[in-house]
Amino acid sequence: MTGQSSSQAATPFQWWKPALFFLVVIMGLWYVKWQPYYGKAFTAAETHSIGKSILAQADTSPIKAAWDYALVYFLAVWKAAVLGVLLGSLIQVLIPRHWLLRTLGQPRFQGTLLGTLFALPGMMCTCCAAPVVAGMRRQRVSMGGALAFWMGNPLLNPATLVFMGFVLGWYFAFIRLVAGLITVLVVASLVQKMVKESAQPAAPVDIDIPEPQGSFLTRWGKALWQLFWSTIPVYILAVLILGAARVWLFPHADGAIDNTILWVIAMAVVGCLFVIPTAAEIPIVQTLMMAGMGMAPALALLITLPAVSLPSLVMLRQTFPAKALWLTGALVAVSGMITGSLALL
């Protein structure tokens, strides 16, 4: 018995595993996010635009609208989606579980704050960040930390804030930064407090937790397969459905969306349902404001469009309790309503 214990204690820590994970993170984010966004910032500064609105074509046929939107959307996000699934699976086999428990595993404000900070370099939309969050939760990351990471990726995206400043104005970027930070921290903290997790044996963070046994490739293949099939098929289906629904969700009527509380509420709710690529809320709001939309509903959209979406909520249906997802969506909608209402004062 003593020999077995000493043998386990003498097992060297495999530093190559977290080193490999962070190498994939850096190389993946540089290729998918950092390098393209660096060039895009100069385009935004020179042209005051980052492209056409993804809702620009007002299709009347729901089937054609679904296909056209899904095609444009997935061409924009497929690289980030692949990276999200890759990181979500690798975090389960390369990062020691006790590392995550010491940082993001605590159901206190510290875990929520660290989740927010860890989200800043990711710059992903909620759907692409969802597989990463699913992988984190399978490693017992707290609800608050995981939600803060999930919402912080799109809402606090530094590149999006720069694009927004050059395209819509730095006033909008400042409001988005402040309102986005408050939304991430408050919503994640409230959901953590209001939703009780199913009982799990909580291991103290000051002791080593035995890692699952098995070869790296076997464990990674299993994690990758489970993560893919639990998130991607429903993701594709939900995007197709919302692509068809955009015929009714975003009516293209010039001057119809004015500065009223009813439109603020409507846009806040619609923004929580619809799915967009990273930073796509900027050309959407720019196009709608040029068509006559008021500032109040515009601010509501700038918070709710990137923060959550129906597909991303469905993707995480096995990751969080249903109450946590519904509450997150509702609180984000309320945040959008409050932010938009400030323009009515």
Has residue 2 got a pLDDT over 70? no
Backbone angles phi, psi at 102, to 5 degrees: -70, -25
d(CA 78, CA 148): 23
pLDDT of residue 10: 43
Question: For residue 207, how far is the Cα from the chain centroid?
Answer: 31
pLDDT of residue 201: 41
pLDDT of residue 295: 93
With a pLDDT cut of 70, the percent of the chain lying above it is 87
pLDDT of residue 57: 60
What is the pTM (predicted TM-score) of this model?
0.89
Section 299-324 average pLDDT: 95
Domains of the chain, residue spans: 15-196+216-342
pLDDT of residue 198: 64
Has residue 207 got a pLDDT over 50? no
Q: pLDDT tens, 106-120? A: 778 899 999 999 999
Section 138-157 average pLDDT: 95
Report the chain's mean pLDDT, rounded to a whole number: 87
Q: pLDDT tens, 155-204? A: 999 999 999 999 999 999 999 999 999 999 999 999 999 998 764 444 44
3-state secondary structure the chain: CHHHHHHHHCCCCCCHHHHHHHHHHHHHHHHHHHHHHHHHHHHHHHHCCCCCCCCCCCCCCHHHHHHHHHHHHHHHHHHHHHHHHHHHHHHHHHCCHHHHHHHCCCCCHHHHHHHHHHHCCCCCCHHHHHHHHHHHHHCCCCHHHHHHHHHHHHHCCHHHHHHHHHHCCHHHHHHHHHHHHHHHHHHHHHHHHHCCCCCCCCCCCCCCCCCCCCCHHHHHHHHHHHHHHHHHHHHHHHHHHHHHHHHHHCCCCCCCCCCCHHHHHHHHHHHHHCCCCCCCHHHHHHHHHHCCCCHHHHHHHHHHHHHCCHHHHHHCCCCCCHHHHHHHHHHHHHHHHHHHHHCCC
pLDDT of residue 211: 52
Lowest mean pLDDT across 37-51, 69-83, 167-181, 205-219:
205-219
d(CA 110, CA 255): 45
Has residue 103 got a pLDDT over 80? yes
pLDDT of residue 120: 96
